[in-house]
């Protein structure tokens, strides 16, 4: 008995606690010998076991945790090549796997649970689980009994997909004769990085086009007939048409934020381009795209998470979901007013003071920088070529009106 009347620990229990203590000698990441075999894809159950161990101790304890399945997967995926880099490789593997969860509340929940979310690596399990459960809208105990297992299962499945992709890629490269720069692993990495850049490029390009279309529509004279088909009986409302372009632009802004979130999760937000000056210009352009408006960080998070959680991330379902929230209606009202404020801006001096025109310029800057740098790096792709001038929504619309006018004349 001890001093407060409770049974004292036995020698065997003291020995067991010692074996579980952080100072006890036990295998660590990079100390597995034959257990870390990059030639063998780990099983689903092996990955779940390692993920549960990591969930319990947190990412900050990774270097001293025995996680052979995750280590095997990181080597198979070419995130690590030696025991010294195994811990870093497992981190990169987990970030890549979690990034496949969509960038919304599910991804963030997994990041909190495993300690991948910035600043949470050293948090105790109870705090990480609480934040993860809050994103699901349930209490921690409910989350632990159901959602947590399914979430870790999704991460494990994503890791298996990464392993399979890596195996197929290696088999393909081994079969090919490396006669061309595109066949080298370095070139493959460049292509993969530019794929990420162009996933951001697509919504940014569409954002500028929709903003320009909204402005051009507001500049039209009100009409009850469709401007490009005056003989049509289809009802037409200029204001609704312009606001529709505005809503589409807001959807593209949320889409761009979601892709940036994925880029940060997968690549750490690191821009790798032909030189540091271009990298800084691209980073600045992306920042300006999201900065020149009246939306707050809270608004950004609201739009991005609901887009990530919407069905197939389609615009229609996205709007069906968020229009029930007063916050969404208020965000849209401020966004539409920002567009209206730029309608009368025609001179360069006026556009320098207009949030909507500065957003459009930032979009154009990003697209041009990425296009030019892709051709600079991939000079084997289309030698001595340069991107053609972009098609603008205003020019396409004017061409349509001209064709209709000529055909009617």
| Domain count of the fold of the chain | 2
Domain assignment of residue 354, given as a range: 183-408
98 in the same domain as 143: yes
360 in the same domain as 311: yes
* Residue 173 tokens, joined: 């490269």
122 in the same domain as 267: no
67 in the same domain as 203: no
Q: Which pLDDT band, with edges at 50, 70 and 90, does 1 fall under?
A: very low
295 in the same domain as 247: yes
144 in the same domain as 96: yes
Select the more confidently predicted residue: 211 or 25: 211
248 in the same domain as 147: no
pLDDT digits (tens, 9 = 90+) for 24-51: 333 444 444 434 555 678 999 999 999 9
Residue whose pair of structure tokens reads 């609480």 in the numeric block: 130
pLDDT digits (tens, 9 = 90+) for 215-263: 999 998 888 777 777 777 778 889 999 999 999 999 999 999 999 988 8
The answer to whether the beta carbons of residues 227 and 401 sit under 8 Å apart is yes
User: Which residue pairs, CB below 8 angstroms and at least 24 apart, start in 131-135?
Assistant: 133/109, 135/105, 135/106, 135/108, 135/109
- Is the model's pTM score more than 0.75? no
Dihedrals phi, psi of 226, to nearest 5 degrees: -65, 120
Q: Note the pLDDT of residue 377.
A: 73
167 in the same domain as 39: yes
The answer to whether the beta carbons of residues 353 and 325 sit under 8 Å apart is no
66 in the same domain as 139: yes
190 in the same domain as 165: no
Instruction: Judge whether residue 107 has pLDDT over 60.
Output: yes
231 in the same domain as 140: no
Q: Which of 191-195, 322-326, 350-354, 398-402 has the largest mean confidence? A: 350-354
Cα 163 to Cα 102: distance, rounded to the nearest angstrom? 19
Which of 175, 193, 221 lies at the terminal end of a domain, its last residue? 175
Looking at the domain assignment, is residue 79 inside a domain? yes
Lowest mean pLDDT among 13-22, 195-204, 375-384: 13-22
Residue whose pair of structure tokens reads 């053609």 in the numeric block: 388
């Amino acid at each position: 008995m001890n001093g407060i009347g409770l049974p004292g620990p036995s020698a065997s229990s003291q020995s067991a606690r010692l074996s579980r203590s952080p100072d006890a000698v036990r295998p660590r990441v990079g100390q597995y010998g034959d257990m870390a075999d990059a030639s063998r894809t780990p099983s689903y159950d092996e990955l779940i076991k390692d993920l549960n161990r990591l969930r319990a101790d947190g990412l900050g304890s990774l270097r001293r945790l025995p996680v052979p399945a995750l280590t095997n997967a990181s080597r198979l995926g070419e995130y690590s090549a030696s025991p010294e880099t195994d811990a870093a490789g497992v981190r990169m593997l987990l970030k890549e796997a979690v990034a496949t969860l969509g960038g919304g509340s599910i991804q963030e929940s997994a990041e909190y649970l495993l300690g991948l979310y910035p600043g949470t690596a050293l948090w105790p399990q109870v705090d990480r689980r609480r934040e993860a459960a809050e994103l699901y809208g349930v209490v921690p105990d409910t989350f632990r009994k159901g959602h947590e297992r399914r979430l870790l299962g999704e991460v494990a499945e994503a890791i298996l997909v990464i392993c399979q992709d890596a195996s197929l890629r290696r088999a393909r490269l081994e079969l090919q004769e490396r006669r061309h720069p595109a066949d080298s692993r370095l070139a493959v990495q460049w292509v993969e990085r530019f794929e990420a850049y162009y996933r951001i490029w697509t919504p940014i390009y569409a954002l500028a086009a929709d903003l320009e279309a909204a402005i051009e529509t507001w500049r039209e004279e009100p009409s009850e007939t469709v401007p490009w088909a005056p003989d049509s009986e289809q009802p037409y409302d200029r204001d609704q048409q312009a606001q529709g372009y505005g809503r589409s632009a807001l959807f593209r802004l949320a889409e761009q934020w979601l892709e940036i979130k994925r880029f940060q999760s997968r690549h750490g937000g690191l821009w790798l381009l032909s030189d540091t000056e271009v990298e800084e210009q691209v980073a600045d352009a992306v920042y300006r795209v999201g900065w020149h408006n009246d939306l707050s960080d809270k608004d950004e998070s609201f739009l991005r998470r609901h887009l990530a959680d919407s069905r197939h991330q389609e615009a229609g379902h996205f709007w069906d979901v968020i229009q029930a929230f007063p916050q969404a209606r208020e965000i849209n009202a401020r966004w539409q007013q920002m567009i209206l404020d730029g309608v009368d801006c025609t001179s360069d001096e006026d556009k320098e003071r207009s949030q909507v025109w500065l957003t459009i310029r930032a979009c154009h800057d990003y697209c041009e920088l990425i296009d030019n740098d892709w051709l600079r790096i991939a000079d084997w792709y289309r030698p001595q070529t340069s991107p053609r001038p972009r098609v603008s929504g205003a020019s396409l619309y004017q061409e349509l009106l001209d064709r209709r006018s000529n055909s009617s004349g």
